[in-house]
Chain A
Amino acid sequence: MNLLWTILGSALNVAAVVLLAPLAEGVLRKITARIQSRQGPPLLQPYYDLLKLLGKEDLESGECPRVQRFAACLAPTAILAVATFLPMGFAAPMHAHGDVILLVYLLTLVGISTLLAGLAAGSAYSLLGISREMMTMITLEPLFAVALIAGAVHTRSFHLDTVLHGSVYATPGVPWSGFLLLGVFLLALPAFVQRVPFDVAEAETEIMEGALMEYSGPKLALIKFAQMAKLVTYCGLFVALFAPWGSHLVFPVGWLVFWLKVFLLVLLVTFVAATHARYRVDQAIRYFALLLGAACVALVLASLGH
Chain B
Amino acid sequence: MIARETLNALKTRFGPALIRADLPADNRLFVWVLPEVVRDLSRYVFRDLDARYVISIGADDRPFSGNYLVAHNFAFDRDHLLASLLVHLPPDAPRIDSITDVVPAANWAEREIRDLLGIEPVGHVQPKRLVLPDGWPDDVHPLRKDVPWNIAPAGFDPSRDYPFDPPPPGCTVVPFGPFHPTLDEPAHFRLFVEGEVVRGCEYRGFMVHRGIEKLAESVLTYNEVPMAAERICGICGCVHNVAYAQAVESAAAIQAPPRAEYIRTIMLEIERLHSHLLWVGLACHIVGFDTLFMQSFRIREPVMWIAEKISGNRKTYALCVIGGVRWDLTPDLQSELRQVLDRLESEWQTAVAAIRNDRNLQRRTRDVGVTPPALVKDAALIGPVARAAGVDIDCRRDHPYAAYDRVAFDVVTHQGGDVWGRVVVRMLEVFESIRIIRQCLDKMEPGPIQLSITDDLPAGRLGLSSVEAPRGESHHFVVTGENQRPRRWRVRAPTYQNLQAIPAMIRDQQLADMTIALGSIDPCFSCTDRMETIDIRSGTARTWTQAELLAQTRARPE
Contact = CB atoms under 8 A, between A and B. Distances in A.
Say whether A and B bind each other: yes
Interface string B519-547: 00000000000000000000000000000
Given A128-B174, A282-B196, A36 B290 contact: yes
Interface stretch (A81-89, A98-106, A198-206, A260-268): A198-206
B395 to A, nearest CB: 31
A283 B363 contact: yes
A206 B298 CA distance: 24
Interface string B465-486: 0000000000000000000000
A281 B173 contact: no
A37 B295 CA distance: 7
B358 interface: yes
Contacts of A197: 288, 360
A278 B287 CA distance: 6
Given A37-B298, A208-B181, A277 B512 contact: no
Interface string A201-234: 0011111100000000000000000000000000
Contacts of B162: none
A206 B511 contact: yes
Given A124-B173, A125-B174, A205-B515, A199 B288 contact: yes
Interface in B55-110: none
A97 interface: no
A94 B518 CA distance: 52
A278 B363 CA distance: 10
Contacts of A196: 288-290
A124 B513 CA distance: 17
Contact of A36 (B180, B295, B363, B557): B295
A274 interface: yes
Given A128-B511, A205-B285, A275 B181 contact: no
Given A203-B512, A206-B512, A206-B515, A280 B364 contact: yes
Nearest to B287: A277
Interface string B494-516: 00000000000000001111110
Contacts of B221: none
B415 interface: no
A277 B294 contact: no
Contacts of B181: 204-205, 208
Contacts of A281: 196, 510, 512
B361 interface: yes
Contact-residue size bin, chain A (C-beta under 8 Å from the other chain): 20 to 34
Contacts of A279: 360, 363-364
Could you say which of A32, A200, A206, A280 has the most chain B C-beta atoms within 10 Å of its C-beta?
Answer: A206
Contact of B180 (A128, A199, A208): A208
Contacts of A131: 195-196
B549 to A, nearest CB: 14
B515 A276 contact: no
B270 interface: no
Interface string A254-292: 000000000000000000001111111111000000000
A278 B516 CA distance: 12
Given A197-B288, A204-B181, A277 B298 contact: no
A35 B291 contact: yes
Contact of B288 (A132, A208, A277): A277
Given A125-B174, A128-B511, A206-B512, A274 B291 contact: yes
A200 to B, nearest CB: 7
A52 to B, nearest CB: 21
Given A37-B294, A204-B181, A205-B181, 12 more contacts: A36-B290, A125-B174, A128-B511, A196-B289, A197-B288, A205-B287, A207-B511, A276-B289, A277-B287, A277-B288, A278-B288, A280-B512
Interface of B: 172-175, 180-182, 193, 195-196, 284-291, 293-295, 298, 358, 360-361, 363-364, 510-515, 557
29 contacts: A32-B291, A35-B291, A38-B294, A124-B174, A124-B175, A128-B193, A128-B196, A131-B196, A196-B289, A196-B290, A197-B288, A203-B288, A203-B512, A205-B181, A205-B182, A205-B285, A205-B287, A205-B515, A206-B182, A276-B360, A277-B288, A277-B364, A279-B364, A280-B364, A280-B512, A281-B196, A282-B510, A283-B363, A283-B364
